[in-house]
Amino acid sequence: MDERLAAAEAALKAGRGEDAIALLVELLSADPGQPAPVYRALLVQLYRASRLQEGATWGQAGAERFPRDFEILNILGVFYRRLFRYPEALAALDKAVRLAPNNGSVLSNRGNVLLDMDDGVRGEAVFAKLVRADPRNSEYQRQLGRALLKQDKRAAAMTRFRQAVAVKKDNIDAWMDMIGLATEDARVAETEALIDRGLEANPDHPRLLEARAVVLRRAGQARRCEAYLLELLPRMETAGWLHYQLGNIVADFDRPRANIHLRRAVELELDKPDYLMALIESLERTRDGDEGANIEESYQLALRAMAFHTTSPGHLKVLNETLIRVCDFDALSKLGDFASLGRGWANSNRHTALLKQLAQVKTLDDRYELLEQHRIWARHAEAAAARNPIHQSAPRSAGGKIRLGFMSSDLRQHPVGYFALPLFEQVDAERFEIYCYSFYQGEHADRLQEFFASKSTAYRWNPDMTSRDAAQLIADDGLDMLIELGGSTHMNRLDVMAYRPAPKQASWLGYPHSAGLSTIDYLICDPFNTPPRRDLLVEQPLLMPHSWIALGRMVFSESHVITPGLPQDRAGTITFGTANNPHKYNRETLELWSRVLAAVPGSRFMFIRPEGGSASFRRHMLAEFGRHGIAPERIVFSTVRGAHMPFYNELDISLDTLPLTGGTTTTESLWMGVPVVSLIGEAFFERLSGSILANSGLADLATEDKDAFVRIATDLAGDRPRRETLRHSLREQIKAGPLGQTEQFARDFYDLIARTVRPAG
């Protein structure tokens, strides 16, 4: 026997797996002609050490040398599966099955790959054969259930899961499959009953205890979930999962406490990527304390987390959003391509992630791909609604007032609330009854929310409610039309629209793209922001005559004082800038801004953003401008959140982002007398600023050409008289136009809805 083989065997007996691997690799590298058991021994140790890529390489070498060794082919298939190389895994396992057609391990591994590939039909054939051969095998029963579920044979799948736990009561995966199936169907009571049964059979099992928290959270019962976890905490203080779930559930209303629990979860279980990702996400969203420091810590943790090479859509979403906050474009490019990322998020019910895709659009094909990503999400949402439909209320008698519903968790002190305000200040009470639906997780109503409630026939505020129950509540109100305002942004429930709780449904204001649902009939827009290519919208455009928005008094008030004179005189140079969110930035935007700065010697650029407090954001911005010859001293960072309006007094000209333009920021800039230069594109989200400028009498500041963008900005910088005029007259000009005539806007809006609900003739 070779000395290295003897030493490897001794190392294996002593439990020194890494030493054994090194010796076996050295042996096979020197003499590939070793017998098959040597290859098998190395592959087993590589698998145990999670050295998957090496395992695949040595497994392929072993399979080439021993093409009829089904054990080598079997483990090679497992390596490929763990590397998500499913076609190669299936090819290896198909060969193994031909050599050992009745081997349970080979068949089971092949079946698992088929399920990974969402091939429920062939997966069912594999596991049905295994169940016939061994009906008392709990795992075979469970996997057969999973194969049936892939085909949407839900009742049959549940039967198999029940058989799996009947055979083996501690098959926790089968319990979790049952719980997951019941959760998908929004059967909260049945789900909790299943958890109770599972805990009777497996007392205090952490996965089952955690499952209850997940079920309550997904059911929208945040306060009940928190109480449940706090009750467990004294006797399970060292349970990482408990701190993880507690951090998640309190994050919406107590972010500092959430961070404490999430840090504790990471400390307790360093090897759990989910816990680290949750902490990264929470820090990125923390507005308390030093926001720049929070962003920086989140980013540094994200760089560490990228070493996991995760493919989880949820993890990729967190990394994507964190890297975007500091504009690390190089790291972002490593997460995946536009189509793969977007479709992964859409297929995993992460509509919120699609907002961050808008700024990544470059071509017409990208625009259509983005539309399809929204449709993919929508098909899943509509299928879920169809599985557990609501009871539609009987139609109300003809005549009477129109019942109009607004659904948004942002009907409060929030940009959506500010723009919706004119409709509530000028309610057409003779023709309309107004119903509002909010799922806001805050503890108390602010004064704007109280105002909305006072102007509504009914203001339904239900933070602890499932989407299906919310849809049923809305249906029971017998609306004529429901308008959702929030898209899928934080605390909103876009999937309620999939149940069609109202006969006519529309989107407006909160999300700058088609939601994707076929159950949303209309998108309220205007002649300027409606895409020329109508197939870039899922919904039918419902056109306001002039502007799709008007400026509510809460933000656009005289209390925001415009400093007399020009910022140029106070700073000694022209200052360009932006207050737009970094999720709208990309290298094309920064290159265009750099071209403007290069064309106006001595000018500077100001970021009015809290991200300026992050050293990494500043470093990346300076590097991007530096690539185009702009010196660091020409870039200024004003670190502010919320109280940013006075900083417009330091800007001469705002430069818009592309392709996703500003909206709120564009109106704020104009209100403060600061002109905005914008690029108009083909899709709805590329035309928002163009609409605002046109309705402010500044259509000439929007263009479809990048060279013209630079020329407009340069000419404006040189046109001191015009900037002086705009600085001191633009606010009055806006107030006299469509954006400022809130009474006329409200009349136009209610007339449009009335014609849509009750068309003439």
Structure tokens at 649: 């007094």
| Burial track 578-600 (b if 16+ CB lie within 10 A, e otherwise) | bbbbbbbbbebbbebbbbbbeeb
**283: CB partners within 8 A, 6+ apart:** 259, 294, 295, 297, 298, 301
Note whether residue 150 is domain-resident: no
| Residue range 401-459, pLDDT digits in tens | 999 999 998 888 888 988 999 999 999 999 999 999 999 887 788 888 999 999 999 99
Contact 749, 431 (CB under 8 A): no
Tell me, yes or no, whether 373 and 343 share the same domain. yes
Per the structure, the complete domain to which residue 686 belongs is given by 567-739
Three-state DSSP at 654 gives strand
Q: Which of 484, 466, 468 is nearest to 404 (CA)?
A: 484
Residues 521 and 630 in one domain: no
Domain shared by 574 and 680, yes or no: yes
How does strand 458-461 pair with strand 635-638? unpaired
Provide the pLDDT for residue 1.
Answer: 46
Amino acid making up residue 569: D
Those residues of the chain that have pLDDT short of 70 are 1-2, 4, 8, 12, 185-186, 555, 761
Residue with tokens 């994200």: 302
181 — phi, psi (to 5°)? -65, -45
Q: What is the pLDDT of residues 493-552, one digit of tens each?
A: 899 999 999 999 999 999 999 999 999 999 999 999 999 999 999 999 999 999 999 998
Q: How many domains does the chain divide into?
A: 3
pLDDT for 186 equals 63
Report CA dihedral (172, 177, 178, 181) to the nearest 10 degrees.
160
Q: Work out whether strand 604-608 and strand 676-679 pair parallel, antiparallel, or are unpaired.
A: unpaired
Is residue 255 domain-resident? no
Tell me, yes or no, whether 2 and 33 share the same domain. Answer: yes
Res 2: pLDDT: 61
HSE-CB for 543 with a 13 A CA cutoff: 10
Q: What is the model's pLDDT at position 166?
A: 95
**What are phi and psi for residue 18, nearest 5 degrees?**
-65, -40
SS3 of residue 203 by DSSP: coil
What integer pLDDT is reported at residue 223 of this predicted model? 86
409, 468: one domain: yes
Tell me the angle at which helices 70-82 and 86-99 cross, rounded to the nearest 10 degrees: 160
Contact indicator for 633, 573 with CB cutoff of 8 Å? no
**CATH number assigned to the domain comprising residue 17:** 1.25.40.10
Strand partners, 540: 522
| Bridge partner list, 725 | none
- Total Cβ atoms within 10 A of residue 116: 14
Per-residue model confidence (pLDDT) at position 394: 77
Structure pTM? 0.85
Question: The domain that contains 465 carries what CATH number?
Answer: 3.40.50.11380
Token pair 């009953």: residue:
193
Q: Is residue 304 part of a domain?
A: no
